[in-house]
Structure 1
Amino acid sequence: MASSETRTSTSNTYGSEYQVFLSFRGPDTRRGFTNCLYVTLEDAGIRVFIDDEDLRPGERIRDNLLRAIDDSKVYIPIFSKNYASSHWCLWELAKMVENTSKSKEGGNKKVILPIFYDVKPDDVKLKTTLYSEAILNLEQKMEDQKKKFNSDDVETWRQALKEVDRTKGWELEESQGHGDLIKLVVNEVVNRLETRQRQVTKDLVGMEDQIAAIKKLLDINRGGVRIIVIYGMGGIGKTTLAKIIFNQLCPCFGRNCSFLDDVRETAKTKGLLELQKKLLSDISYYREAPNIANNDLGIIKIGETVCNKKMLIVLDDVDEGNQIENLIPVNSLCLGTKILVTTRDKSVLNIRGFENKFKDYEMVGLSDKDALKLFSRHAFNDNSPPANYYTLSKSIVSTAGGLPLALEAIGSSLFGEETRGIWEEWLQKLKKTPHEDVLGKLKISYDALEPKHQQIFLDIACFFIGEDKTNPMYMWKDREFFPERAIKVLIKRCMIEVLDDDRFGMHDQFRDLGREIAKQEHTRLWDEKDIIRELRLTSTEIKEGVQVEALCLRSLKDRITVTSEEIKRFPHIRFLSLYNVNCQGDFTGCLSKLRWIDLCYPYIRIDKARRNQHLEATNLSHLQNAVVVNLSGLQFTDDVFKSLIKI
């Protein structure tokens, strides 16, 4: 392949860092308690390093252990009767104590959560003979250990044991059994790691009263079921408010929390079944939800899962009543369950069977004072404008209608701009935009971008929200869009965000803006109905006016067949993503400008004998031009691969 940067992806993997380090004495707990705890933590989506000295081939893994301990934020030593007889266990504990002590100064706080398994805290703190004699035995055998440790090490181990804090841990004798203890540990780890926490902007202005009002409606200190609906126009801060409440209440619910982002978009592009699976995955003790055949079975399974435990659930950006019906089993909710729903349209609450179940809260725009403060933070990095821009700033703020998203976007676009004439031009454009036209106000920020930055914004809006940024960067670099700078500009202007896991995020209003622009320009296709209509046009003549350069077709139900003759309608395609779509015909010459090809065939095995049953295509891609190739769900023989691709 011509490009040295070509990326071929077959699956997603976790990063190399661990979150939890388990330290234990293998013969005591390996096949019982420790294994169950490890599996449950893994099922909760937590990355766990588990070490067992009895299964370790020699001493050469010490460096790996050191990295795993340094990576982890939570340490769980399982103190059993023979724990102190292992110099490896004691070495691990000393390293954990050292790291937690250092982390108090560095701000990246680590914690030890001890489990006292058939031992007492006094045993661990060397107040009895159990661990004291074990360490004395190690000292006596020191000469036989071939300098694996020395007297200084032994003293360090003694001090580490004495520093273990019993108040942060659990005693097996005080629990009802292994299952209950493991449940307590996992819930505590989830809270400590904040795995369920949502990212929220740091510039929160004027939301204190609204937070208090929602928490009062939720009545968190009482055991009743509450379903609160936050409604209001797009960009007014409904999702931000829901995230803040969710983050504050998560510690009260442990693992029994779920925040379903962007229900409207997910239901449209992936289906309600996908949302049901995500909810079940969040609230059950399985990393992946059980296979569900249809929505009816999905809501039954959700009801069976939530009926005996209080839940905290957020459904964000609902636009149809059936979305609530298929995600909330209203008659199966356990007492103490709290549910938040955000929507632009209050009429979606007219659902049969949900009468009198909702309490609603209307979001309103920021006050003039708070609106000016939020704008100033983004435009001037201060809580108020400088005197010579005060009047102009107030005039600009008055056009935003108290919408936080518009205020952030406009202020960020003007940040660092010292030419007063440009500020006045922005004001005139904003005044010409109807008060209720949020997208029109946001488009002014889009129009101010460089052309290449606009292209990256449109790509993200149409295809890459929620996707890892790595592969798109390769494509944009190949097109000389200089994406590193572009991404910084888009983030500074509040038009996109890059989340902690390096995935792109975007407010739904900016997403809607980007997709509306792409639809008008006819450059990107992502809606199944629009794509099928384009493909099925009677004439297959290539027209210069057909400028589609990116196409993403996801068939959620029956597999769709796309022919090479139909694809020839789009000679400018650089990005092609097909999910559950059958390709048919000879694609020679169809995709000369292709830079990214993504083929996903769920649950299909392709081999030489059966290939024509599913993929009747040859010369599917000119891989010498592609910089990103993702073939998922396909298992090729060499002959099949060669017949598909002409290099």
Structure 2
Amino acid sequence: MLMKIRVCLKMLCRKCDVFINHRGLDVKHKLASNIYFALDAIGLRPFLDVEVLEPGVAIPSTIQEAMTSASLHISILSHNYAQSSRCLDELSFMLRTGTKTIPIFYHVEPSDAQWVIQGKGIYADAFSEHEKKGRFGSEKIEEWKRALHDISFLSGHVVNDDIAEGRLLKSICNEALQTRDGFPVKIARFLIRTDEHMSRLLADTDEESENSEQDVEESASECSDDILSSMVDRVRGSVSACLNRVEVSVNACLDRVEGSVAKCVDRAEGSVNVYLDKVEQSGDEPIDELIERGMKRAFIWFTED
């Protein structure tokens, strides 16, 4: 049990679920930002530098750690994408990790990335500039070209003026949910608020701490007790409501039975009195026969209801 809790906590402490690779000047405050907030809204942890990076952190190591921990990579290939050496480095690294990568061709075509190997297409000028500046060796530039060429053959999305962005965001969210942790994820219809419980679980879980195992077990126990108590209260309330409804129904039935019995008794008593009056007034018919006939008649009326 403790091992399972540790695995869950490690998953919760990952830097991100989805890493968004993009050219900032083209899409940072457009498509990249919309993808970030769409994924964040469904409970995932996307990584977009402008939204996640805090002042004072080492940018290269933080970005590499995010790419390594992510279960899905999204690469937005825009018109000026190849001008950024950082974008190309990230793309090469993402493909080397073997993690699923979804390309989004933002107002470009997959063929634009395929032609880069032959030094053609819209990215040819950007690579010519890299070569002229001489900041990177030929091996690095060939590595970037190969990464662009390879990603062009991956299944992805082509975005242009005819594509509804809302449909694209929905598709990306579904892909991200199905990819996270390696199995499809379904969102429950009714959710139990777990913010407080998770904060307790994450508070003191340093593996180097001597009391970490005890802290996790106690926190998990408190979490289970709270949920169990909530369930018991709901069951108790449901049972009480059912008992009240049964009591009301039984009382109504008893009232109806009591009314029917009283009505039958009154009718029988009236019938007997009528025949007794006839007995007193008649001298021809034997009294025993009149009484017997009256009782039979009263019994018939009584059993009719």
Structure 1 partner of 2:106 = 117
What is the CA-CA distance between 1:166 and the residue it aligns to? 4.2
Higher strand share: 1
Give the paired residue count. Answer: 213
Deviation at 1:504, TM superposition (A): 5.4
Larger helix proportion, structure 1 or 2? Answer: 2
- Rounded to whole Å, the distance in 2 between the matches of 1:125 and 1:25 is 19
Distance 1:471 1:155, change over 3 A: closer
Counterpart residue number, 1:258: 188
User: Are the counterparts in 2 of residues 75 and 111 from structure 1 also a CA contact under 8 Å?
Assistant: yes
- Which deviations, in whole Å up to 9, do the C-alpha atoms of 1:535-560 show, x marking residues without a partner? xxxxxxxxxxxxxxxxxxxxxxxxxx
Does the CA contact (< 8 Å) of 1:466 and 1:505 recur in 2?
A: no
Is contact 2:114–2:152 with CA below 8 Å preserved after alignment? no
Closer/same/farther in 2, CA of residues 76 and 503 from structure 1, 3 Å limit: farther
Aligned pair partner of 2:176 in 189, 202, 212: 189
Q: How does 1:422-437 map to 2 (within 5 A)?
A: none
Spell out the pairing of 1:383-532 with structure 2 (5 A cutoff): 468-470=200-202, 483=214, 487=217, 511=228
**SS in structure 2 of the partner of residue 81 of structure 1:** coil
- Bigger drift between 75-84 and 151-160 goes to 151-160
Counterparts in 2 of 1:503 and 1:178: CA distance versus 1, 3 Å = farther
Query: TM-score, structure 1 length as denominator?
Result: 0.28
Assess, with a 3 A threshold, how the Cα gap between structure 1 residues 43 and 153 changes in structure 2: closer, same or farther: same
Determine if contact 1:19/1:71 at 8 Å carries over to the other structure.
Answer: yes
From the superposition, tell whether residues 150 and 183 of structure 1 become closer, same or farther in structure 2 (CA, over 3 Å). same
CA distance in 2, matches of 1:117, 1:165: 12
Pairing 1:156–2:156 present: no
Map 1:21-420 → 2, pairs under 5 A: 21-51=19-49, 61-100=59-98, 110-126=99-115, 128-142=120-134, 145=135, 149-173=136-160, 176-193=163-180, 250=186, 257-260=187-190
Aligned pair in 2 of structure 1 residues 472, 30: CA closer, same or farther (>3 Å)? closer
The structure with the larger Rg is: 2
Query: Which amino acid is 1:114 matched to?
Result: P
Unaligned runs of 5+ in 2: 1-11, 235-305
What is the distance in 2 between the residues matched to 1:473 and 1:192?
27
CA distance in 1, matches of 2:48, 2:168: 18
Change over 3 Å in CA distance of 1:17–1:471 after alignment to 2: closer
Q: Structure 2 length normalisation: TM-score?
A: 0.56
Aligned to 2:267: none
Letter in 2 for 1:123: D
Ranges in structure 1 where 5+ consecutive residues have no aligned partner:
1-13, 101-109, 198-246, 251-256, 267-273, 279-287, 289-463, 488-495, 517-525, 528-647
- Shift of the alpha carbon at 1:95? 0.6
The alpha-carbon deviation at position 195 of structure 1 amounts to 9.5
Give matches, 1:493-642, under 5 Å.
511=228
Residues 67 and 94 of structure 2 are in contact (CA less than 8 Å); yes or no, is this contact kept in structure 1? yes
CA 472–185 in structure 1, closer or farther in 2 if over 3 Å, else same: closer
CA–CA separation in structure 1 for the residues paired with 2:62 and 2:72? 17
Contact kept? 1:24, 1:51, Cα under 8 Å:
no
Q: Using the alignment, how far apart are the partners of 1:113 and 1:30 within structure 2?
A: 17
Give CA deviations for 1:146-191 in whole Å, capped at 9, x if unaligned.
Answer: xxx3222111111111111544210013963222222221221122
Q: Distance in 1 between the 2:224 and 2:113 partners?
A: 47
Shift of 1:497: 11
Q: Percent sequence identity over matched residues?
A: 24
In structure 2, what residue type is equivalent to 1:260?
F
Cα deviation per residue 1:476-510 (whole Å; 9 max; x = unaligned)?
x99x9x838x95xxxxxxxx997xxx99558x8xx
Tell me how far apart the structure 1 counterparts of residues 205 and 71 of structure 2 sit (CA, whole Å).
30
**Whole-angstrom CA distance in 1 between matches of 2:176 and 2:158:** 16
CA distance in 2, matches of 1:73, 1:196: 11
What is the distance in 2 between the residues matched to 1:129 and 1:64? 33
For 2:47 and 2:78, the matched residues in 1 are separated by 19
Partner of 1:617: none
Q: Contact 2:76 / 2:103 at 8 angstroms: preserved in 1?
A: yes
Task: Give SS of 1:187's match.
Answer: helix
The amino acid across from 2:150 in the alignment is: E
Provide the secondary structure at the position in 2 that maps to 1:64: helix
Residues 62 and 173 of structure 1, relative CA distance in 2, 3 Å threshold:
same
CA distance in 1, matches of 2:73, 2:62: 16
RMSD: 4.5
Partner secondary structure for residue 130 of structure 1: coil
Residues 23 and 51, structure 1, Cα contact 8 Å, conserved in 2 = no
Post-superposition shift, 1:141? 1.3
Cα pair 1:25 1:82 within 8 Å, conserved: yes
1:118-170 Cα distance to aligned partner (Å, 9 max, x none): 1100111225421233212211112xx4xxx3222111111111111544210
8 Å Cα contact 1:114/1:166 also seen in 2: no
C-alpha spacing 1:179/1:119, structure 2 compared with 1 (3 Å): same
Question: Deviations along 1:496-543, whole A, 9 cap, x unmatched?
Answer: 997xxx99558x8xx57xx99xxxxxxxxx99xxxxxxxxxxxxxxxx
Contact 2:197–2:219 at 8 Å: present in 1 too? no
Whole-Å Cα distance in 2 between the matches of residues 125 and 505 of structure 1? 54
| Residues in 1 aligned to 2:54 and 2:199: alpha-carbon distance in whole angstroms | 38
Q: Give the letter aligned to residue 15 of structure 2.
A: E
Of structures 1 and 2, the one scoring higher in RCO (CA 8 A, sep 6+) is 2
Task: Report the CA distance between 1:43 and its aligned residue.
Answer: 1.5
Divergent runs of 4+, >6 A: 464-467
